[in-house]
Amino acid sequence: MKRNTPTLAEAENITRKIALGHYENFPVGSILIPKKSRQHFYNLYAFMRTADDFADDEGRNIEERITLLEDWRKQLKEAFTSKELTHPVFIALRHTIESCQLSIDPFNRLLDAFTFDVHDSPKFTTEDDLFWYTARSAAPVGELVLALFGYRDAERIKLSNDICSALQLINFVQDTKEDLGRGRCYFPSADLPTELRADPASALLVDRDLRIQIMGLQLARARGLLKNGESLPRLVTGRLRFELRAIVIEARMMIRKIDVLGCDTIRERPKLSKIEHGLALAKAFL
């Protein structure tokens, strides 16, 4: 190992700090994850968090951000080979990859989504385009979490994909103000009147009634996906069952909060309180 290259213990300490430093974005019931698996969660999260930060770094131009993501993909590939690693995130991630026998495919799909986000004014034309994105931005996260616990079958992955896609759609509604302000529209333009489809972000910023209608459609999709995936917790064992229950419960709590706001999250971004997080965990055990 090269001089000044972190040891595995040092690398994992760094990924742990990255994950715990962004706690509100971390899996809702992380205390439910067995201690022996928790570090693997931190290692995965550090990989995703850093790539997401590259994509959202408005201090850099598009070309610079894409270069950072391409280099991140190159280092990912090296983590799956015998090449020597120097970056602490990938030193820690390789341990998780080898310990849990992970595939590179979910990681590459995540990077495809981050790269999509970098380009000017990303938008979807149809519902199929929307789910092309969630298959890259959200579904791989669930697949990787299942793999940490040894689940790799198509049935569980399909249910996990539905739950993760629902979470992504809910997040789109939560972050509407910030996304539209950046020129990003994560609602299919086919949902809008024909004359407004050329610039959906501007149309939704200006027209409150239309915005509420479109957000309602997005939440309806999320409800359907949660319903489709709700049997997943019954198909896993141990603490993961309660973790997945808590995630579904919190998703439904967030949908209710958005409903109370009349689906207008530009006026106020909904967020669950610590008490509500605790309530979700308690319900997960019932």
Domains 1-119 and 120-286 are alike in CATH topology: yes
Q: Out of 153-157, 183-187, 192-196, which region has the weakest mean confidence (pLDDT)?
A: 183-187
Q: What percent of the chain has pLDDT over 70?
A: 95
Contact criterion met (CB below 8 Å) for 175 and 110: no
The predicted-structure confidence for 212-271, as pLDDT tens digits, reads as follows 999 999 999 999 999 999 999 999 999 899 999 999 999 999 999 999 999 999 989 999
pLDDT at 27: 47
Tokens standing for residue 223? 């409800």
Q: Out of 32-41, 136-145, 151-160, 201-210, which region has the weakest mean confidence (pLDDT)?
A: 32-41
pTM, 2 dp = 0.92
Alpha-carbon span 165 to 135, nearest angstrom:
7
For 279, counting Cβ atoms within 10 Å of its Cβ (0-12 exposed, 13-18 middle, 19+ buried), the class is: middle
* Fold category of 1-119 in CATH: Farnesyl Diphosphate Synthase (1.10.600)
Alpha-carbon span 273 to 143, nearest angstrom:
28
If pLDDT is split at 50, 70 and 90, which confidence band does 52 have?
A: very high
Domain ranges of the chain: 1-119, 120-286
Distance of CA 248 to the CA centre of its chain: 14
Alpha-carbon span 63 to 43, nearest angstrom:
27
Contact criterion met (CB below 8 Å) for 85 and 58: no
Alpha-carbon span 15 to 25, nearest angstrom:
14
CATH code of 120-286, in short, is 1.10.600.10
